[in-house]
Amino acid sequence: MNAGGRQATWDEAWQEASQAARARVEADAGLLRLMYETMLRSREIDRVAGGADGHWHACEGEEAVLAACYCGLRDDDWVAPHYRGMLQAAHARGADLRRLLAGLTGKATSHSRGRYRSDVCAPVEQRMIGLYSGALGPTLEYAAGAALAARLDGSGAVAIAVFGDGTSSRGNAHEAINLAAVLKLPVVFVCQNNGFAISTPAARGVAARSIADRGAAYGIPGIAADGNDAIALRATIEFAIARARAGEGPALIEARTYRVAGHLVADPAPYRPPDEVEPWRARDPVERLRAKLVAAGLLDAAADTALRARLRDEVDAAMAQAQADPDPAPDALDTGAVFAPVRG
């Protein structure tokens, strides 16, 4: 079958499956509540982390990607998050928030024991793949490797790799997606297209009409989804996960969203017209999911107020603890915890 034929097959499958996939997500009250809580908590984390560190990369307005990618996974699935939102992803996977925030404040209680001060902590205990070198792109390759391992183990686990529009044009991103396509690996590639790579608009970094269109060139499904609609995006990702688990190979999902904040807290983003932001604020993903929950009878104003207060208090307490935690002592430099022992 030629590439066009392959594309027609999954296109039709997606057309057939999309409504049912959406209906399934809408009927899962537990998942909807979990996604809403994840998004609200992310915004609280942005508030405290952004207040403490001008280098923080906020996820505001992009939270639907977190909810859709990291809720409802199996414990043995692997995730290679985008650096923007990695701390929230780690917490969504079960890592302790105080320890994660202690990574930001450089404290001894952090996963790196204070040796590395960063918001891009991805504890391997949570089956997470981090941005170990700070270079964007390799995480897609590591995710393809994790997917290969999962297939060799026969575990049925999948890997999810999330990355930005800027990262999507890195050479290793192409290599990873191509290799995964050739080997039909159980990995879902999700491009969190927020319209910018620092100050470069996506339109100046990507010549293709859309990032999803690149899927056809790799010979895999490429699906663009509204990245501010948590339900639609989750339905799309579930379709891709189901294919991957069934041995049908990878997919490329483009989550179209917008970076309403600067690249980092200290960036006032003078390079874009201010009136570009407002229409996106009006499509706020948190508000859209809240309205859905209210319409479905799953949330009322009093419960929403109580939930927001609880999350604010929890996140404030975790940050207060992370700030009060001890600084690393010289023993944090103990090389025994860095290098494998030499066998004699």
Residues engaged in binding ligand TPP (CB under 6 A): 84, 134-137, 164-167, 194, 196-198, 259, 263
Handedness of CA 152, 154, 155, 156 (dihedral sign): positive
Of the pair 44, 62, the CB lying nearest ligand TPP is at 62
Q: Please, what is the minimum distance in Å from the beta carbon of residue 264 to ligand TPP?
A: 9
Report the first-to-last Cα separation within the chain, whole angstroms: 56
Q: Please, what is the minimum distance in Å from the beta carbon of residue 196 to ligand TPP?
A: 5
Angle among Cα 275, 279, 283 to the nearest 5 degrees reads 155
Of the pair 77, 165, the CB lying nearest ligand TPP is at 165
Of the pair 39, 322, the CB lying nearest ligand TPP is at 39
Of the pair 135, 320, the CB lying nearest ligand TPP is at 135
Rounded-to-integer distance, Cα 161 and Cα 155, Å:
18
Q: Please, what is the minimum distance in Å from the beta carbon of residue 298 to ligand TPP?
A: 31
For 94-124, give the DSSP string.
T--HHHHHHHHHT-TTSTTTTSS--S----G
Rounded-to-integer distance, Cα 242 and Cα 307, Å:
32
Q: Please, what is the minimum distance in Å from the beta carbon of residue 3 to ligand TPP?
A: 27
Q: Please, what is the minimum distance in Å from the beta carbon of residue 270 to ligand TPP?
A: 17
Of the pair 237, 261, the CB lying nearest ligand TPP is at 261
Which residue has the CB atom at the shortest distance from ligand TPP? 164
Q: Is-contact 114 76, C-beta < 8 A?
A: no
Of the pair 56, 196, the CB lying nearest ligand TPP is at 196
What are the start-end ranges of the E strands in 142-297? 159-164, 187-193, 196-197, 200-201, 222-226, 251-256
Q: Please, what is the minimum distance in Å from the beta carbon of residue 176 to ligand TPP?
A: 14
